[in-house]
């Protein structure tokens, strides 16, 4: 699989941003129970970066991820992905935009139990009216091969182990060739061996395909091995540590 | 989105027992509805056939239209206006058609009229031994009547021709004969309301299947009825006509009215009350049966709501992938329609099988005394339109039920579900 160039908007380093979030504020709860979960978060992620977002429970990591992925709307601030302002589109257009630009991996695999591994992988293509052609199926199988379970393409989720299910979820998140892969505790539900395998998979995707990845994690080992670590505390970004030189 | 039906199908297929139960509910509703409509229509068809068999299709009544016209002219005249009325017969209390034989002959030549008969009906008390029963004595020409109705074929004992061979012959309705205890050959007495009496010999027992006839009618020669009622030799209470067509008789009715000057009624008007009653019973039954379909619709709504509640997480995931609200709505609408189509198809098959079974092996029951119709066998009407209309109704109800349930699916906000799951 050849390395793809992702998230490149122009020639200068400032134009390589895949994700730009400015002044994100998010309040959750109603009335007296309302609290500000995010208090003005600014993030820029460039093409090809492998970023870990860490922080204690309740710091607002998942909330931030949902805002960045266009699944939730900020009370203030803006999110741009590949130059598209998420606030400027209606609900259905936002769904299309998510389909086109973003891949999601969740803590739980969230595979649809009635569909085979390959069908689950192809599902995001169905949302855009594709997924039936030989080419699409070959791409789905290739992704399953990439995550190491091509031979289980026809199996239902219940016939797969937890690690295998999460691998299918990773393959599914890549099938639309997203500009940005967002993962919310992707190993939180896996044993250490499977967690390591998923990390290696993400790393491979990042190195081989140039896939831009933002992972919310509690896993310190995962954070240590990322290119860049963002630290969130009480709804504010309190740290932005580049651990490796940006890959060419 | 082409995979929307696949999503719908897999949801249903993954819960075979629940889906089968929901389909069974719709099938039951459709089958019961089709069977009921078939039964009610069968009853109406049965009644109509009996009615047409033994009743004239057009009846010339004693009521004179020229008298009515003169009355109308006088009613609408301005104060002190002079109204010219000519050739108006003076109405009397005799409810008869005068010159009935000549009128019947004239009407017989009208194109579309295939037979005519003069009849005179008068109330009498029939006595046999110590038993006396009120009845309607209908006088007619037995030969002419055979060109108008199938009464001669309804004679179950004795012979209709007995009326022709015996001037004092009488053909008695079966239930009336039972109550009187008479048989063919017995002699009974008929006393009219003016006290004129006549002794008659039973020459036949008739069973038409219509309660009003079999319960209280006795047929005699016209001259006998005229004698008992005290009418003249050329009077009758009606001229009975058989027409080539059974329906759309309005034109012919107007034509006969113009020739006779008397009001003419179609068979549908004559039996309006009974036909209306049957239709009303039908509508009431359909409404009650329709509830079965509505309950089946609730079953679909319930089933889909269960699926949607169970699938909220999947819906959220699909939405996060980029499935639009419309696509999610489509999934559950198709599920509702699939359940509806499967239920309607199964219901139609069940209904067709049951109807066919009871056609081959009909249910028989005893006739009830005093019934409007001697209905002794379940008569089921067959019409493909029942299946089409009821299936469409089931589909509409299924779609409506799905629409109600689907509102919840469309309202799923992915982030709320995902946040709750995390």
In terms of domains, do B252 and B351 share one?
Answer: no
Is the CB of B322 less than 8 angstroms away from the CB of A72?
Answer: no
CB A115 within 8 A of CB B10: yes
In terms of domains, do B71 and B191 share one?
Answer: yes
Range of weakest confidence among B80-94, B114-128, B242-256, B395-409: B80-94
Quick one: closest CA in B to A120, which residue?
B318
Q: Residues of A155-180 as b/e, b for ≥16 C-beta within 10 angstroms? A: bbbeebeebbbbbbbbbbbbbbebbb
What is the Cα–Cα distance from B29 to B390, expressed in whole angstroms? 9
In terms of domains, do B209 and B62 share one?
Answer: yes
Inside any domain, residue A10 = no
Range of weakest confidence among A94-98, A234-238, B33-37, B287-291: B287-291
Q: DSSP letters of B32-92?
A: HHHHHHHHHHHHHHHHHHHHHHHS-SEEEEEEEHHHHHHHHHHHHPPTT------SPPPP-
- How close B341 comes to chain A (CA, Å)? 22
Inside any domain, residue A4 = no
**Token duo for residue B83:** 């109204």
Q: Indicate if the pLDDT at residue A30 is higher than 90.
A: no
Q: Which of B269, B285, B307 is the last residue of a domain?
A: B269
If phi > 0 it is left, if psi is from -120 to 50 it is alpha, else beta; for residue A167 that is: alpha
CB B292 within 8 A of CB B140: no
Judging contacts by C-beta atoms under 8 Å, the chain B residues touching residue A121 are none
Percent helix, strand, coil in chain B (nearest 5)? 55, 20, 25
Pairwise pLDDT comparison (B218 vs B325), residue with the higher score: B218
Inside any domain, residue B86 = no
In terms of domains, do B73 and B46 share one?
Answer: no
Four-CA torsion B412, B416, B420, B421, nearest 10 degrees: 60
In terms of domains, do B204 and B262 share one?
Answer: yes
In terms of domains, do B191 and B253 share one?
Answer: yes
Share of chain A above pLDDT 70, in %: 92
Q: For residue B202, list its beta bridge partners.
A: B170
In terms of domains, do B248 and B299 share one?
Answer: no
Handedness of CA B86, B89, B91, B95 (dihedral sign): negative
Q: What's the confidence (pLDDT) of residue B218?
A: 95
Pairwise pLDDT comparison (B18 vs A9), residue with the higher score: B18
Expressed as residue numbers, the domain containing A178 is 48-71+96-242
What is the Cα–Cα distance from B253 to B285, expressed in whole angstroms? 34
What is the Cα–Cα distance from B234 to B99, expressed in whole angstroms? 5
Q: Indicate if the pLDDT at residue B88 is higher than 90.
A: no
A195-234 pLDDT tens trace: 787 788 888 888 888 889 999 988 888 888 889 999 999 9
Q: Which of B269, B298, B322 is the last residue of a domain?
A: B269
Q: What's the confidence (pLDDT) of residue A8?
A: 33
Structurally, chain B folds into a number of domains equal to 2
DSSP state of A213: E
Is the CB of A124 less than 8 angstroms away from the CB of B321?
Answer: yes
A144-170 average pLDDT score: 90
B380-399 pLDDT tens trace: 888 898 899 889 988 888 88
What is the Cα–Cα distance from B303 to B19, expressed in whole angstroms? 8
Q: How many residues does chain A have?
A: 248
B274-293 pLDDT tens trace: 888 888 888 888 888 888 78
Nearest to B418 among A106, A126, A127 (CB): A106
Inside any domain, residue A145 = yes
Quick one: closest CA in B to A63, which residue?
B419
Quick one: closest CA in B to A131, which residue?
B3
Handedness of CA B399, B400, B402, B408 (dihedral sign): positive
Range of weakest confidence among A5-19, A134-148, B300-314: A5-19
User: How much is the pTM?
Assistant: 0.72
What average pLDDT does the structure give for chain B?
A: 86
Q: What's the confidence (pLDDT) of residue B352?
A: 94
CB B43 within 8 A of CB B372: no
Inside any domain, residue B36 = yes
Q: Indicate if the pLDDT at residue A91 is higher than 50.
A: yes
What is the Cα–Cα distance from B134 to B389, expressed in whole angstroms? 47
CB B44 within 8 A of CB B52: no
- How close A37 comes to chain B (CA, Å)? 13
Compute the C-alpha angle A152/A162/A104, nearest 5°.
85
- How close B405 comes to chain A (CA, Å)? 21
Q: What's the confidence (pLDDT) of residue A244?
A: 64
**3-class DSSP assignment, residue B217:** strand
Judging contacts by C-beta atoms under 8 Å, the chain A residues touching residue B325 are 91-92, 95
Q: Which of B269, B298, B313 is the last residue of a domain?
A: B269
Q: What's the confidence (pLDDT) of residue B89?
A: 61
Structurally, chain A folds into a number of domains equal to 1
Q: Indicate if the pLDDT at residue B146 is higher than 80.
A: yes
In terms of domains, do B255 and B107 share one?
Answer: yes
Inside any domain, residue B85 = no
CA-based nearest residue to B164, from B190, B192, B142, B183: B142
Judging contacts by C-beta atoms under 8 Å, the chain A residues touching residue B319 are 95
What is the Cα–Cα distance from B299 to B283, expressed in whole angstroms? 24
What is the Cα–Cα distance from B378 to A248, expressed in whole angstroms? 88
Expressed as residue numbers, the domain containing B203 is 57-80+92-269
Inside any domain, residue A140 = yes
| ipTM metric | 0.82
In terms of domains, do B255 and B335 share one?
Answer: no
Nearest to B422 among A62, A72, A92 (CB): A62
What is the Cα–Cα distance from B54 to B192, expressed in whole angstroms? 24
Quick one: closest CA in B to A69, which residue?
B320
Q: Which residues of B make CB contacts under 8 Å with A?
A: 1-3, 10-11, 13-14, 313-314, 317-327, 414-415, 418-419, 421-422
Share of chain B above pLDDT 70, in %: 92
Give the CATH number of the domain where residue A187 resides: 3.40.50.300
Q: Indicate if the pLDDT at residue B297 is higher than 60.
A: yes
Q: What's the confidence (pLDDT) of residue A135?
A: 93
CA-based nearest residue to B226, from B167, B185, B160: B167
B253-268 average pLDDT score: 89
Judging contacts by C-beta atoms under 8 Å, the chain B residues touching residue A128 are 322
Q: Which of B311, B317, B330 to mutate: most A Cβ within 10 Å?
A: B317
Judging contacts by C-beta atoms under 8 Å, the chain B residues touching residue A106 are 418, 421-422
Q: DSSP letters of A100-115?
A: HHEEEE-SS----TTS
Strands A236-242 and A228-233 turn out to be: antiparallel
In terms of domains, do B412 and B324 share one?
Answer: yes
Three-state SS letters, B233-269: CCEECEEEEEECCCCCCHHHHHHHHHHHCEEEEEHHH
CB A233 within 8 A of CB A56: yes
Phi, psi of B405 (to 5 degrees): -70, -35
In terms of domains, do B242 and B195 share one?
Answer: yes
What is the Cα–Cα distance from A79 to A69, expressed in whole angstroms? 9
In terms of domains, do B283 and B401 share one?
Answer: yes
């Amino acid at each position: 699989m050849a390395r793809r160039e992702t998230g490149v908007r122009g020639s200068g380093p400032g134009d390589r941003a895949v994700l730009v979030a400015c002044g994100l504020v998010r309040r959750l709860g109603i009335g007296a129970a309302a609290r500000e979960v995010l208090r003005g978060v600014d993030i820029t992620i460039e093409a090809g970066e492998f970023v870990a977002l860490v922080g204690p429970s309740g710091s607002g990591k998942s909330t931030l991820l949902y805002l960045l992925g266009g699944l939730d709307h900020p009370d203030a601030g803006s999110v741009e992905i590949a130059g598209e302002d998420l606030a400027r589109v209606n609900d259905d257009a936002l769904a299309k935009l998510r389909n086109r630009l973003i891949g999601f991996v969740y803590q739980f695999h969230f595979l649809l139990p009635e569909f085979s591994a390959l069908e689950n992988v192809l599902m995001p293509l169905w949302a855009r009216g594709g997924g039936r052609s030989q080419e699409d199926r070959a791409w789905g199988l290739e992704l399953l091969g990439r995550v190491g379970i091509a031979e289980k393409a026809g199996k239902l989720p219940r016939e797969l182990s937890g690690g295998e299910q999460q691998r299918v979820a990773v393959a599914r998140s890549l099938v639309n060739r997203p500009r940005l892969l967002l993962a919310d505790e992707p190993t939180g539900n896996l044993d250490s061996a499977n967690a390591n395998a998923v990390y290696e998979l993400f790393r491979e995707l990042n190195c081989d395909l140039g896939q831009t990845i933002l992972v919310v994690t509690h896993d310190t080992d995962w954070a240590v091995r990322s290119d860049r670590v963002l630290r969130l505390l009480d709804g504010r970004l309190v740290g932005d540590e580049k651990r490796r030189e940006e890959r060419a | 989105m082409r995979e929307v039906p696949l999503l719908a199908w897999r949801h249903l297929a993954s819960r075979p027992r629940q889906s089968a139960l929901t389909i069974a509910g719709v099938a039951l509703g459709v089958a019961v509805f089709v069977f009921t409509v078939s039964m009610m229509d069968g009853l109406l068809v049965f009644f109509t056939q009996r009615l047409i068999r033994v009743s004239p299709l057009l009846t010339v009544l004693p009521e004179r239209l020229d008298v009515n016209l003169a009355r109308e002219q006088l009613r609408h005249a301005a104060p002190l206006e002079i109204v010219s009325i000519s050739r108006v017969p003076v109405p009397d209390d005799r409810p008869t058609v005068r010159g009935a034989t000549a009128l019947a002959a004239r009407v017989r030549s009208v194109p579309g009229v295939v037979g005519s008969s003069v009849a005179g009906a008068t109330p009498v008390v029939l006595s046999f031994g110590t038993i006396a029963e009120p009845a309607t004595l209908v006088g007619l020409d037995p030969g002419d009547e055979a060109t108008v109705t199938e009464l001669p074929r309804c004679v179950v004992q004795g012979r209709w021709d007995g009326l022709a061979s015996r001037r004092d012959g009488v053909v008695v309705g079966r239930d009336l004969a039972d109550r009187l205890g008479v048989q063919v050959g017995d002699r009974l007495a008929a006393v009219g309301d003016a006290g004129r009496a006549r002794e008659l010999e039973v020459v036949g027992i008739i069973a038409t299947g219509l309660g009003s006839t079999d319960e209280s009618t006795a047929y005699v020669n016209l001259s006998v009825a005229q004698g008992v009622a005290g009418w003249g030799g050329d009077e009758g209470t009606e001229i009975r006509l058989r027409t080539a067509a059974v329906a759309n008789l309005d034109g012919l009715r107007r034509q006969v009215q113009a020739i006779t000057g008397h009001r003419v009624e179609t068979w549908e008007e004559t039996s309006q009350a009974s036909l209306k009653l049957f239709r009303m019973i039908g509508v009431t039954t359909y409404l009650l049966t329709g509830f079965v379909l509505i309950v089946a619709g609730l079953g679909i709504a319930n089933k889909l709501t269960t699926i949607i509640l169970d699938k909220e997480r999947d819906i959220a995931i699909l939405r996060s992938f980029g499935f639009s609200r419309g696509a999610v709505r489509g999934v559950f609408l198709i599920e509702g329609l699939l359940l509806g189509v499967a239920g309607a198809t199964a219901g139609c098959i069940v209904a067709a099988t049951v109807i066919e079974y009871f056609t081959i092996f009909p249910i028989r029951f005893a006739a009830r005394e005093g019934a409007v119709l001697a209905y002794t066998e379940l008569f089921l009407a067959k019409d493909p339109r029942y299946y089409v209309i009821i299936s469409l109704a089931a589909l509409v109800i299924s779609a409506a039920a799905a629409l109600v349930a689907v509102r919840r699916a469309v309202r799923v906000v992915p982030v709320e579900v995902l946040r709750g799951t995390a």
